[in-house]
Structure 1
């Protein structure tokens, strides 16, 4: 019997028994044909590979992630996936959707067509993340767009429903319309959720509406309540804590969770890896390798209804990875549909600049150069003190706390520069209204200098954070001139930068080069005193109005739990 590939002498992961068995693998037409030790003499393979006793596992499957978080174009990103043993991703392109709407999502899909891994699509359900009353995005994903995307090839679920306040309290909200339409027309599709710290009746009502997963940061109590209520939990790295892993293992909850990456910065992707990092970390925290592998292959496939992958069995797509050991989880070779897409022993092909996107995607920052008065906040009070709301940043979380500071006023101008606070400004950059929102930021933030970026979740307007007018102006104008990016400035000099010219959120450079630039940005932020385990994501989510507790958009300060605008100066 003729076959394409025979992999001999391997230790093969059986997902159904969660154990490794010794044997051979026969592959025909991109699918697994036979797994075993007998009857292999009848095969006439085009190619034979000696597994040399290596471990063979299914290709890793990441069902909740955003390509845009890597700031790399899809083809560049997917090449890194193969290197890290990931053969299927479910990408939710709401970042691009916020800039270019359905056109942007289609451009992302087109750019991913020649990728060495399968790029499946989650329909962005929350573009904008809240409403036009609370933020200005470049485009909106409307109900008609949802209907069109439901009929597209490769669409596999409704992406994360973020505005849980609308879902729970506003029956006729766009979020609920999206959910109900999917439940009615495509009842087999998963509906993904984003509900940080939601508990009790509110959580039950969120699930009742039709959203039955959560990928946000977990506590043991929150994890327990979600699983007890039938939710599927997607564990990203910030939830991979000893107490979480212990709880999952103690109660043998392996059918109820999967590992996901959500957001991986480009320097981390280059230096550490992707979904394989979470598997390795879970093993280091005490989870049996077989169970950790299960949570990165079989359960994510089951969650998304991908019956054709996630295990090594007859008829399944021949996506698999060879490992030399389970503790280090070192990726030796990756195969997609029986074809090798990565080999650790071969010299990597040099990546090229990605030209997948249309020219007008490089002209998305519709802002004139700024002047210093853009960072001046005037008040009715002539002199003295006023009480202001302040977003407090803490290392280790992207959530903020609301506190109240006394800020001096001199000649009707808020003298924020004389305090420990930074000024944050969000400027609408899509050419719609020229809105500007102001906020003060304290805690573990920069102590001098400034940073500016168009990589500001989810609306991706221009976000400027700084300790003085001059450096803020320099950073902001550099980003405007370069049509997007991340610029860090000290004493009127750029000390860290990464250009993101594609829609203001993606680079067209090779990943190694982009990763080096973003590592430089992080180093520059650390030099300015920004104390955070993920400074880029911390800054970029200061403008995310669905992430607790107090955030800033071009419309102003948002009380997230109440989904309403609140004034900066309260007396």
Structure 2
């Protein structure tokens, strides 16, 4: 007699991320792995059972680009709110906290993430400070620092290379940073909104091969055409982009990512499950959305043990209520253990303290006069350059605005373009 299974999930339909088909099946789990996917009712002993009648069984969701600090949560708290939403694996780039507290912050985040049942992998921030010489930071990472940190346990990538202008210009520091990652054979994540033509070629030539930023539709196609993994966050998901990608002779690999979502948004709207619903509303078929949540990001992160419901794969599973397009998680398993039900974490937090972390960013003291905008112009109304923010997302564009000047001071407060 074959060894007893730990868990049988029966009554549901498995959704294949390879073919897009749905088929009735019992999924069996032993330890942290899927041990069998069998026709319904096939004899097999299991210690526990989950009734998935009316549900769809899909792989756990994989977020290939995000920042835990953007949720204003520790790694443990982040796992508690996102696991129950179906997100079982993340690649986190902690560039925000590392810009404040340096290498110690990276170690602190890794240690904290290890205390959760969520797979939290890490990218070493490539730009600390984000734009050298243009801003204040609490730390600085050299190419040698980054080369060492790329060898740390849990690190699988170079975090988003956001100083793309320096890369294109051949800046020695950024060249050394990308070279360190290429020598290590690691993943190089990109950040290059609307970079195109010769500049895009120069950027790609360094080994950076993904982008998660908002691009014009024609640039999305250009980047995909050149083999860049396109990571679509909420602000990138519009009907024009969906139509253009779906009209291609072959759909390129796509990842759905969250990038920056605050805790209140996650609790009220969702995490990757929310992004999935946005993608469906934009026109992407649900089975393509599922693949962009699971198989493709798993391949991107070189996690070949997940992303499909198949024997031998890690038992990161999500049981979805209703139609696939609703992406409504009812039960979530991570490593074969139930960790979420109905949007609430049900696992016991691991004991142990990560300790305190300190960091600071020092800026010059400012008084009220420091916020006055003084100009050498006569009294009256004058035109000034401005920045217009798109109310739907974070995209900005150059603009002009008329502002009054009195006594050499611009009345700029509470003015909008």
Is the shorter-chain TM-score for this pair beyond 0.5, marking a shared fold? yes
Of the candidates 335, 338, 345, which is equivalent to residue 337 of structure 1? 335
Report what 1:508 is aligned to. none
Matches for 1:30-41 after TM superposition, within 5 Å? 30-37=32-39, 40-41=42-43
Residue 387 (structure 2) aligns with: 391
1:183 paired to 2:187: no
Change (3 A) 1:84 1:51: same
**What residue in structure 2 maps to residue 29 of structure 1?**
31
User: Contact 1:60 / 1:87 at 8 angstroms: preserved in 2?
Assistant: yes
Matches within 5 A, 1:159-170: 159-170=159-170
Query: For residue 214 of structure 1, what is the aligned residue in structure 2?
Result: 211
Contact 1:388/1:405, CA 8 A, preserved across alignment: yes
Aligned: 1:130 with 2:119: no
Deviates more, 1:148-157 or 1:372-381: 372-381
Q: Which residue of 2 aligns with 1:196?
A: 193
For residues 340-360 of structure 1, give each alpha carbon's deviation from its aligned partner in whole angstroms, at most 9, with x where no partner exists: 000129797999xx9855163
Shift of 1:71: 1.4
1:211 and 1:349 map into 2 onto residues whose CA distance is 37
Describe the shift of the 1:158–1:223 C-alpha distance in structure 2 as closer, same or farther (beyond 3 A).
Answer: same
Shift of the 382–225 alpha-carbon distance from structure 1 to 2, 3 Å rule, reads closer
How far apart, CA to CA, are the structure 2 residues paired with 1:234 and 1:283?
Answer: 15
Alignment CA distance shift 1:244-1:253 (3 Å): farther
Q: Which residue of 1 aligns with 2:317?
A: 320
Name 1:310's counterpart in structure 2: 307
Q: 1:234 to 1:23 in 2, by over 3 A?
A: same
Worse overlay, 82-91 or 122-131: 122-131
Once the two structures are TM-superposed, the CA of residue 11 in structure 1 deviates from its matched residue by 0.4
Q: Which of 226, 242, 263 is matched with 1:266 structurally?
A: 263
Deviations 1:403-449 (A, max 9, x none): 455655544x42x23xxx338xxxxxxxxxxxxxxxxx742xxxxxx
Alpha-carbon shift at residue 143 of structure 1 (Å): 1.9
**Does the Cα contact within 8 Å between 1:97 and 1:141 map onto a contact in 2?**
no
Deviates more, 1:307-316 or 1:376-385: 376-385
8 Å Cα contact 2:123/2:158 also seen in 1: yes
Distance in 2, matches of 1:370 and 1:245, equals 47
Of residues 283, 294, 297, the one that matches 1:297 is 294
Say if 2:254 is the partner of 1:257. yes
Deviation at 1:377, TM superposition (A): 3.8
Cα separation, partners in 2 of 1:253 and 1:94, compared to 1, 3 Å: farther
Residue equivalent to 1:113: 114
Residue 68 (structure 2) pairs with residue 67 (structure 1): yes
Which range is displaced more, 114-123 or 143-152? 143-152
Alignment check: 8 A CA contact 1:7 1:48 kept: yes
2:380 touches 2:404 (CA, 8 Å); kept in 1? yes
Structure 1 residues 87-486: aligned runs within 5 Å: 87-131=88-132, 133-172=133-172, 174-184=173-183, 186-187=184-185, 189-251=186-248, 253-325=250-322, 326-344=324-342, 356=354, 358=356, 360-361=358-359, 364=360, 371-379=367-375, 388-404=384-400, 409-411=405-407, 413-414=408-409, 416-417=410-411, 421-422=412-413, 442-443=416-417
Pair 1:384–1:49, CA change in 2 (3 A): closer
CA spacing shift, 1:410–1:278, aligned 2, 3 Å:
closer
CA–CA distance in 1 between the matches of 2:199 and 2:163?
Answer: 12
CA distance in 2 between counterparts of 1:25 and 1:347 reads 22
Maintained 8 Å contact 1:254/1:295: no
- Post-superposition offset of 1:392: 3.0
Matched position secondary structure for 1:77? helix
- Following superposition, the deviation at residue 327 of structure 1 comes to 2.8
Structure 1 residue matching 2:123: 3-state secondary structure: strand
Contact 2:329 2:342 in 1 (8 A): yes
How far the C-alpha of 1:314 sits from its partner, in A, is: 1.7
State the alpha-carbon separation in 2 of the partners of residues 234 and 348 from structure 1: 30
- CA gap 1:234/1:346 in 2 versus in 1, 3 angstroms: closer
Alpha-carbon contact 2:295-2:308 (below 8 Å) kept:
yes
Give, in whole Å, the separation in 2 of the partners of 1:48 and 1:350.
20
Q: Tell me, in whole angstroms, the C-alpha distance in 1 between the residues paired with 2:313 and 2:376.
A: 69
Normalised TM-score (structure 2) = 0.90
For residues 60-98 of structure 1, the C-alpha deviation after alignment (integer angstroms, 9 at most, x for no partner) is 000000111111222111111112111000000000011
Describe the SS at the equivalent of 1:295: helix
Kindly report the root-mean-square deviation, in angstroms, between the aligned alpha carbons of the 2 structures.
Answer: 2.7
TM-score relative to the length of structure 1: 0.67
- Could you tell me how far apart the structure 2 residues matched to 1:156 and 1:359 are? 23
Tell me the secondary structure at the aligned position of residue 332 of structure 2: strand
Alpha-carbon distance, 1:5 to partner: 1.2
Structure 2 residue runs without a partner (length 5+): none
Quickly say closer, same or farther: Cα 1:366–1:357, change in 2 above 3 A. Answer: farther
Q: Is the 8 A contact 2:147 2:177 kept in 1?
A: no
Provide the C-alpha distance between the structure 2 equivalents of 1:370 and 1:251, rounded to a whole number of angstroms.
54
Number of residue pairs the alignment of both structures matches: 412
Q: Which has the higher contact order (CA 8 A, sep 6+)?
A: 2
